[in-house]
Amino acid sequence: MSEVTKIFPSDTRAIKEVSALLEQEGIRLDRNLDYISAIRDDDYHIIATGSMFHNTLRCFAVDHRHRGEGLLNTIVSHLMEQQLLRGNLEVFLYTKPASARFFHDLGFYEIARVEGRLVFMENQPQGFSRCLQRFQDETAAFLKNRKQTLDGSSRTAAIVMNANPFTLGHRSLIERASRENDLVHLFLVSEDASLFPFAVRRKLVTAGIAEFPNVCLHASGPYIISNATFPSYFLPDDDTASIGHAELDLTLFGKIAAALGIRRRYVGEEPFSQVTDRYNQVMREKLPALGIECCVVPRLAVNGRAVSASDVRQCIKDGEWEHLQTLVPPATYDWLKSGDAAGVRRRIAATPDVRHH
């Protein structure tokens, strides 16, 4: 009875059973899943389930009539085996607050929680601490290289961006933050879930911020807007965008801000993406409670329309290079026209909807 099987999306009857089992526990079947597993009883009814999305585990439930039989432990062991097959050594987990102690006993460590809603855990006891240390070491090296020191009165800010690709709008936001602060931490989303790979985005951002001597660039890692913390960010806009994911991501950002002395976060207005706009709304509510000022900056406009990376991608797809040149810095434009960008151009041409990637 304890054999774990994979549930395929085409098995609508099993999916309904999984959904019903989760609903008994007050859990909605997550839209962001790429692997669903289950255990069935002798009558072939699903009595336990657990799922994955990339390197995260989520959506666990056991029928109340079968608790105490070790089924959840079996499900978790199975999913961890699947993660190893994927080559994932760092694994993250979502669970309800009441279940956190159980998963701790299975080798997971709490990173953050959204009270009354979810707990975010990982299987590496020092994973988040190592990430904080990396940010601090990068900052120390940056300041030393520029012979710059900070004290308690220094103004330290942050920007988080995907830059898919880097536009004049991104540059405008960074320029303002740079002008108004002594140090700006620029966290570039390092998750490779966009049409422009991280290595390319980093190259274009590095070129774009060269004139701002107080902007310190960091790869965000798995704890800032990643498929682990905020998977809705990487999906097409719809009403399933999770406020809980946004709250979790910002809870983690609050810990990062405390480690780096960040007191402001700059964000551009979002007229196009529903997911990002909802995230900005949660940010405006949550950041002040964490002691962080949320600075919402109007988007740079060209010919009356806000500049966006989605417009840039659409211009590439449509071959509108003259208009595109008004939206991006010279370094971005030159790279997009180069032979190095041929793969990205082909990928964009083959993507039906480039505004949501």
Q: What is the domain count for the chain? A: 2
User: Could you say which of 90, 111, 138 is where a domain stops?
Assistant: 90
For residues 68 and 147, membership in a common domain is answered with no
Does 116 reside within a domain? no
Domain limit, last residue, from 34, 62, 90: 90
**Residue at 105 is within a domain:** no
Could you tell me which residues come within 8 angstroms of residue 178 by beta carbon, excluding any fewer than 6 positions away? 184, 212, 214, 215
Residue 143 burial by Cβ neighbours in a 10 Å radius (0-12, 13-18, 19+): middle
Name the residue range of residue 18's domain.
4-90
- Same domain membership, residue 139 and residue 69: no
Claim to verify: residue 139 and residue 228 sit in the same structural domain: yes
Q: Among all chains, which residue has been given the structure tokens 């988040």?
A: 128
List beta partners, residue 187: 160, 218
Residue 38: the pLDDT is 97
Q: CA-CA distance, 132 to 137, in Å (whole number)?
A: 9
- Side-chain-side CA neighbours of 349 within 13 Å: the count stands at 8
Residue-wise pLDDT for 273-316, tens only, equals 677 778 888 899 999 999 999 999 998 998 888 899 999 999 99
CATH number at residue 80: 3.40.630.30
| DSSP-based three-state secondary structure for 184 | strand
CB 7 within 8 A of CB 18: yes
Q: For residues 22, 27, 31 and 34, what is the CA-based torsion angle, rounded to 10 degrees?
A: -50
The predicted pLDDT at position 226 comes to 82
71 & 178 share domain: no
Any idea what the CATH number is for the domain that residue 322 is in? 3.40.50.620
3-class DSSP state for residue 106? coil
- Residue 118: what pLDDT? 86
Over residues 158-183, mean pLDDT: 96
Output the pTM of the full model.
0.90
Residue 120 lies in a domain: no
**pLDDT higher at 96 or 206:** 206
